[in-house]
Amino acid sequence: MRRLLFGLAGTLFLTGSLLAVPQTPKKEPGIYCQLTGKKIEKCCCEQRDGKLYCTLAKKTIAKCCCKPPQATRQKKS
DSSP code string of 3-69: HHHHHHHHHHHHHHHHHHSPPPPB--SSEEETTT--EESS--EEEETTEEEETTTTEEESS--EEPP
pLDDT for the residue numbered 70? 72
Inside any domain, residue 72: no
Q: Which one has a higher pLDDT value, 64 or 76?
A: 64
Inside any domain, residue 76: no
Measure the CA–CA gap between 37 and 65, rounded to whole angstroms: 10
Q: Which one has a higher pLDDT value, 63 or 11?
A: 63
Inside any domain, residue 8: yes
pLDDT for the residue numbered 35? 94
Inside any domain, residue 74: no
Inside any domain, residue 73: no
pLDDT for the residue numbered 28? 58
pLDDT for the residue numbered 75? 55
Domain that holds residue 19: 2-67
For the stretch 14-70, pLDDT in tens is 565 555 555 555 555 789 999 999 999 999 999 999 999 999 999 999 999 999 877
Domains of the chain: total:
1
